[in-house]
Structure 1
Amino acid sequence: MVGQMKLMIAEEQKFQGKALSLSHTKTAITTIKEKFTEQQLQMFEQSCFGHLLWIEDLKWTSLIVHGLLLRKADPKTVSQLNEIKFIVGNKVIQFTAQQFCIVTGLRKGLPRMRCVDDVLKLGFVYFAVFVLLGSEKHVHIDMRYLKLAEDLEDFGKYSWGVVCYAKTNASLLRALCANYKRVKVPTKTAKTKKFGKKPTTTATGRPREYHLKGFAYALQI
């Protein structure tokens, strides 16, 4: 089944690395539960995002994700129009938008709501941006989502599964590529030891530590 497909990273070039998820699940869910009133929380639970409040303690396992990304098929040897493909053993597996929606449950819309306050609207945008779209905390929120939240009925009908999958898939495809944006480590004021420091990239320029945007938890699951 593998045929002429090849790995993007050859077996002999495998390396230890750390995949970091930018989906701030625990932080965002804890904040929503603390800031929302009982009524606001109940309305959120009835929405298309409501079932995801239960993933607060979902653990991110870097080894699993990095190990799988090392098995990515070379895009030059396989058709990857709308999904990412991996070569595991003698089989080719893929991560499709349909699978993503099944795992995340992003299907149904929001219930009809009256007298929705701004706090609740911001809560939906906050959850979408920092949990499902996995954005850096210092990045400004896209105004399109703020405008969309003005009408929560339209917000619920929005194709969140498609948008979230596209963001996740794009990040996974770029991961481990030599030109992928590496993690920026803040400059420390304290003196650090110069010896024993591991290189941040491999000999081929691939990052050993990298961030994944979107909701990469779905790939792990």
Structure 2
Amino acid sequence: MVGEMKLMIEEEQKFQGKALSLSHTKTAITTIKEKFTEQQLQMFEQSCFGHLLGIEDLKWTSPIVHGLLLRKADPKTVSQLNGIKFIVGKKVIQFTAQQFCIVTGLRFGNLPFIPIPTNENCSLKRKYFANDKTVNLLELEKAFLECDDVDDVFKLGFLYFAVFVLLGSEKHVHIDMRYLKLAEDLEDFGKYPWGAVCYAKTNASLLRALCADYQRVKVPTKTAKTKNLERNQQQRQPVDQESTTSKVFPMHFR
């Protein structure tokens, strides 16, 4: 019943904010189209990611996303098992894996085992990241742009698209090194359940998005032990009046 559910943040406690997409969609797709040969681009268009090449002009509607996040149902009052639930008007809507699969057209399924790449078992690791235990998005982008090996640039391009578009993160964040090993075999790469991975990351980011704000808006601040601390707290601007920023991973509407 809707009446039994409660908003995570009550109507009178809502605040201004901005939800950010961390997917580098337009930049990544433009880069791939410039880097790939015509033949490679045609092959990419026929791959598991090919249908996503047309989303480079997709607009990110931050106010709508933030407004929806403010309608998030309190997880203490409703199960989140089948996706995050939102209370909009008098209806309950939810963000499910099935809906995500339909919208994105990405594969779902169980995650297969992928060995950790080493210089001995992974040529991409040995050639481009031999001395690196970790690789961030900027380093992957640099390797892709500077690569002049026809086969390797195609493999790195698939990994570049997956990390920059589907699993969007800030560019200093480290990638999952196992994806280097996966990219060595593009047939296996195409069969990988990217939809399941992308949905899980999007779902987790939505759950986290307003967590800090929820704590400061709804959880009372502990009583100060001294009058000086109380006076300092009273002089501060109330945090629920500030504009806040939430980071949301995309593809995701990502």
Q: TM-score, normalised on structure 1?
A: 0.81
Matched, 1:208 2:253: no
- Give the 3 Å change call, closer, same or farther, for CA 98–16 of structure 1 in structure 2: same
Is contact 2:158–2:183 with CA below 8 Å preserved after alignment?
A: yes
CA positional deviation for 1:149 = 0.7
Residue 3 of structure 1 aligns with which residue?
A: 3
Q: Deviations over 1:37-67 (max 9, x none)?
A: 1011111100010010000100111011001
Structure 2 Cα separation of the partners of residues 6 and 20 of structure 1: 25
Q: Deviations over 1:170-191 (max 9, x none)?
A: 00011111279xxxxxxxxxxx
1:124 alignment partner AA: F
CA positional deviation for 1:141 = 2.3
1:93 counterpart SS class: strand
Structure 2 Cα separation of the partners of residues 47 and 100 of structure 1: 19
Q: Which residue, out of 189, 195, 203, partners 1:161?
A: 195
1:41 alignment partner AA: L
What does 1:17-166 correspond to in 2, within 5 Å?
17-107=17-107, 117-166=151-200
Structure 2 Cα separation of the partners of residues 55 and 8 of structure 1: 32
Structure 2 Cα separation of the partners of residues 64 and 166 of structure 1: 21
CA positional deviation for 1:213 = 1.7
Structure 2 Cα separation of the partners of residues 211 and 175 of structure 1: 6
Identity of aligned residues (%): 84
Gaps of 5+ in 2: 109-149, 215-236
- Give the 3 Å change call, closer, same or farther, for CA 99–19 of structure 1 in structure 2: same
Structure 1 Cα separation of the partners of residues 82 and 165 of structure 2: 22
What does 1:170-185 correspond to in 2, within 5 Å?
170-178=204-212
Structure 2 Cα separation of the partners of residues 66 and 60 of structure 1: 11
- Give the 3 Å change call, closer, same or farther, for CA 202–42 of structure 1 in structure 2: farther
Q: Deviations over 1:1-45 (max 9, x none)?
A: 413100000000111110010011000000000111101111110
1:3 counterpart SS class: helix
Structure whose CA Rg is larger: 2
Residue 114 of structure 2 aligns with which residue?
A: none
Is contact 2:107–2:196 with CA below 8 Å preserved after alignment?
A: no
Is contact 2:22–2:248 with CA below 8 Å preserved after alignment?
A: yes
**What root-mean-square deviation, in Å, do the aligned CA atoms of Structure 1 and Structure 2 show?**
2.2
1:92 counterpart SS class: strand
Bigger fraction of residues in helix: 2
Residue 141 of structure 2 aligns with which residue?
A: none
Gaps of 5+ in 1: 109-115, 181-200
- Give the 3 Å change call, closer, same or farther, for CA 62–12 of structure 1 in structure 2: same
